Amino acid sequence: MTNRQVILAARPVGVPQESDFALVESPLPELGPDEVLVRAQWLSLDPYMRGRMSEARSYAKPTGIGEVMPGQVVGEVVESGDRRYVPGDLVVGQLGWQEHAVARGSALRKIDPRLAPAPAWLHVVGMTGLTAYFGLFDVCRPKPGDTVVVSAAAGAVGQVVGQLAKAAGCRTVGLAGGPEKVADLTGPYGYDVGIDYKADDVNAALKEACPAGIDIYFDNVGGALSETIFRRLAIGARVAICGQISQYNLAEPELAPRNLGFLIVFRARLEGFLVTDYSHRFEEGLTRLAGLLRDGRLQYREDVTDGLDHAPRAFIGLLNGENRGKALVRL
């Protein structure tokens, strides 16, 4: 019995190429004590993976050349040396881009498909949902009536942020690229205003949508778009720096954070965060997210690619903004 894996074949310079990945076959590892063999069903594709492909200093060690690409997976337990799991259990874990994985039981978490469909545990009731939850409520602290702007608002995190902010009594303004995504913003995701950053005059659109300024900006993109948004902050604004996808493929760093006087003018706060720092509160977040989902207050869209061999292509598409909804690979 063999395993199929996608490994990092080369460190990309700029936008990753398919040749930076390789599909390899290998024997399944032996099951050690307390270990569990999982057959992957769903693989989550997320922008942070671009960071792991690079050697630049970051919050996590880079993936080595020849190592399996990192990624969250939902799968089924095939064999278990941990008495907490039995074959047939559905679990989620950081198992990487591969069809089978062996992991310690403590590195897995059981999921309940009656509470939410299996792939949803990779997003709306998983890491991207938790990212939206803690980023919005803990970092930005919304109050009813706040105007909340979200970039990459139709992405996996952004679609949840908008709906959570709406549930908290805020006005929501989303930015996305292209008419289909923008239609999703004011459609299923319930944004009050959707702005197409590729087609619209963003500054004019923001001025109209946020006449009293922006109280909260949830930043998934960084770069020139964020710079335009910063200019329209309100006094006391909070900005969560969640992602900077506009920067991930740059071979050379872009302009640096120098011209920060606007933070004084607006008495504003920029704060970066990582969802993993809130792991002690994941149960709280998942309970809330699952409740909203059950009550029909959390809509989502998935962008599904079939087959592990198409994962590199789908990941490159994600970095280019080609996905519509949460990027997933069905195995």
Decide: is 256 part of the binding site for its own copies (CB under 8 A): yes
Q: Which is nearer to its own copies, 7 or 206 (CB)?
A: 206
Q: Which is nearer to its own copies, 82 or 137 (CB)?
A: 137
- Contact with its own copies (CB under 8 A) among 88, 211, 257, 296: 257
Q: Which is nearer to its own copies, 274 or 304 (CB)?
A: 274
- Residue 275 and residue 282: Cα distance in Å, rounded? 9
Q: Which is nearer to its own copies, 160 or 275 (CB)?
A: 275
Q: Minimum Å distance from CB 331 to its own copies?
A: 29
- Contact with its own copies (CB under 8 A) among 274, 303, 310, 322: 274
Q: Minimum Å distance from CB 210 to its own copies?
A: 16
Nearest alpha carbon to residue 37 among 109, 98, 71, 87:
87
Nearest alpha carbon to residue 75 among 118, 136, 12, 131:
118
- Contact with its own copies (CB under 8 A) among 27, 88, 211, 253: 253
| Stretch of residues binding its own copies (CB under 8 A), selected from 193-201, 246-254, 301-309, 316-324 | 246-254
Q: Is the dihedral of CA 198, 199, 204, 209 positive or negative?
A: negative
- Residue 180 and residue 291: Cα distance in Å, rounded? 28
Q: Minimum Å distance from CB 259 to its own copies?
A: 5
Decide: is 230 part of the binding site for its own copies (CB under 8 A): yes
Number of shown-chain residues binding its own copies (CB under 8 A): 38
- Residue 295 and residue 15: Cα distance in Å, rounded? 40
Nearest alpha carbon to residue 50 among 222, 199, 195:
222
What are the beta bridge partners of residue 218?
Answer: 150, 240
DSSP 3-state assignment of 252?
A: coil
Show the site string, 44-83: x = touches its own copies by CB under 8 A, - = not. -------------xxx------------------------
Residues 178-197 that bind its own copies (CB under 8 A): none
Phi, psi of 234 (to 5 degrees): -95, 165
Residues 195-224 that bind its own copies (CB under 8 A): 219, 222-224
To 10 degrees, what angle do helices 127-134 and 282-294 make? 100
Decide: is 261 part of the binding site for its own copies (CB under 8 A): yes
| Stretch of residues binding its own copies (CB under 8 A), selected from 33-41, 64-72, 74-82, 256-264 | 256-264
Q: Minimum Å distance from CB 266 to its own copies?
A: 7
Q: Which is nearer to its own copies, 27 or 253 (CB)?
A: 253
- Residue 208 and residue 196: Cα distance in Å, rounded? 14
DSSP character at residue 251 = S
Q: Minimum Å distance from CB 316 to its own copies?
A: 20
- Contact with its own copies (CB under 8 A) among 55, 277, 283, 284: 277
To 10 degrees, what angle do helices 127-134 and 156-167 make? 40
Nearest alpha carbon to residue 241 among 223, 265, 262:
223
- Contact with its own copies (CB under 8 A) among 61, 114, 258, 280: 258
Nearest alpha carbon to residue 187 among 301, 16, 95:
301
Which residue spans within the chain are E strands per DSSP? 2-8, 21-27, 35-44, 72-80, 90-94, 100-104, 109-110, 147-150, 171-176, 193-196, 214-219, 233-241, 269-272, 302-306, 326-330
Q: Minimum Å distance from CB 169 to its own copies?
A: 24
Decide: is 306 part of the binding site for its own copies (CB under 8 A): no
Q: Minimum Å distance from CB 25 to its own copies?
A: 35
Which chain residues interact with its own copies by CB under 8 A? Answer: 57-59, 219, 222-224, 226-227, 230, 241-244, 247, 253-274, 277
